[in-house]
Chains A and B, each alone.
Chain A
């Protein structure tokens, strides 16, 4: 299906207000409220017209000052129909997003990555622990309010030593 056909088909299935469809750079994009997310994703997976069998990615966008702070973005692809869909859902810091591991197994690590980087919780995920950063890491590094020069070394750093640090400060060399 082309993007236009996906959108008209979607609007047939979900005629109610609240689900907003548009075409952005040639791809179909759906903005969906958090309550309808699971229902929409299930339809996308099981409906033979859509048949999105490949779960490409989940990512998130941090808008810092906006009221639902994050966008969680799902990228779906259908290997049988060769079409794509992007699903965006607005969530706040404390809202848990329903996990999609039951539908696509691939969602497991991607949801862990989004939890690791943005601190967005996924309810119903079997093992929501950090994927990329180490356990001792505090905070979520891709949030806009994480300081860019904050370091959390795992072992003690012996350089620059105190004596050397004084010299560096004297010369005004920046080394974070």
Chain B
């Protein structure tokens, strides 16, 4: 995710801000699960106690896009439902990330047909793609750790500012 600084140059405290805010944000991830198909079963097993993703600070899914940080697109998204997904992404507040969970959400999966959107990256930006039909919970945890790395190493705003988008 690209961040533009007001004047175009980096303030001197920026490195410390990136590290501290990145550390804080990566351990307080709230998922918004957008579940449309069979991958949802696998998401449920990830979210339940056996795999315990609370270890990585992502234990509590929020069912309102306003309160969530990470959009988790789980399952087949077809053209009919794609405006809903777009609205949900637009409603989420910054900073936000998104994960495309499974083959269907990433590239359309086995469904190369008239009804299915060929990858959610066509309508929302995607940070992490999880392969598999459905991905095993270990894959999900691996993707979550990759998202941790990404959040830790990216730039963060100290003060919230409106993006011109």
Contact = CB atoms under 8 A, between A and B. Distances in A.
A35 to B, nearest CB: 34
A154 B114 contact: no
A153 B80 contact: no
Interface stretch (B28-36, B54-62, B119-127): B119-127
Interface in A90-143: 132-134, 141
B115 interface: yes
B152 interface: no
B39 interface: no
Interface in B67-96: 79-80, 82-83, 86
B118 A154 contact: no
Contacts, number: 43
B80 A134 contact: yes
Nearest to B80: A134
B118 A141 contact: no
A168 B118 CA distance: 15
B123 A158 contact: yes
Chain A contact-residue range equals: 10 to 19
Interface residues of B, number: 15
A154 B83 contact: yes
B144 interface: no
Interface string B104-145: 000000001111011101110000000000000000000000
Contacts of A133: 80, 115
Given A154-B83, A159-B121, 15 more contacts: A134-B79, A134-B80, A141-B115, A150-B114, A151-B79, A152-B79, A153-B79, A154-B79, A154-B82, A155-B83, A157-B122, A157-B123, A158-B122, A159-B123, A175-B118
